[in-house]
Chain A
Amino acid sequence: MFNIFAVLAVLSALLVVVNPLSRNPVTSAMFLVTTMISISGLFVLLNAYFLAAVQILVYAGAVMVLFLFVIMLLDVEETARRKLRIVSLTMGLLSVAALFGVYKSSIETTYEKDVVSSQIDGFWSEHFESISSGEKESGVTVGSTQALGHELFSNVNGFILPFEIVSILLLVAMIGVILLSKKELK
């Protein structure tokens, strides 16, 4: 299951960015929907059920509808395919590949158990062991709606203040969008 969702996510993400057949934003948006759905499948595999539902509702639903709506509104005609500048293309590809290589090798050195225990001692090795061997101490973490709600709104170290701040942020974004989309932008 993991392999299916991972390959699907990465493949359709590639098709969002470099689609050999079409340069149309609508196609990219459709493949972005596929990516979001497979990412939410990954969330289910990670026992984050609530976040999987929210991912589909917010991204595959609201955000993508917004994107498609704006694409239709702008009425972007099929622009004559400007040729991508070869220099920027190769440099971009090169730098991104280098970044991914660094990331991959750092993951491999961090989570190889024997490397960790031989190089890092004391607290850190225990810490990393508990990370890499997973759920052995606290059982499987299940991100059900109930558990997440307890975590968010518990009195001890809950996230009530950040929650309220985020609600103000949403209000500000809403007012900002209304102001921005007025006919006469002063």
Chain B
Amino acid sequence: MKLMSRNARRAGVIFTFAMLIATVALFYVVKTEGFRAWSAVALSATVVATIVMYVVFYIRTGLWRFVHRDFAGYDEREAGVALGALRFAYAIFTVVALGLMLIASATAFEINVVLVAMLILTAHILPASVIAWNEPDIEE
């Protein structure tokens, strides 16, 4: 796994989720106000930034692979880290999903395909994000 400082990892996690939220928000803006030059540019930029962060921050550093590999391959410490991350991600995702269901059921808020796509991506990267956020710096 490629080494990064904890601060850099935390900045990466914050930036990725900020881009995810911005993509969804901008899509709703475009849908209600129609396509304008600034919104089209901003939406494209956030989508590109999200994809770049996914590839550079999660795939290339090995964070994504760490929580998506065969469980038999973990040593005791890795198993503890992965289990903690999965449990925390499960709890967070549960709250987010229930909140969205509640909003969708109680209000006229429309769930669209971009929100669902971002929710799927969030579910995929959450465990890796928890690890990136929590793991201490490694002394080289």
Q: Do A and B come from one complex?
A: no
B residues near A (Cβ < 8 Å) are: none
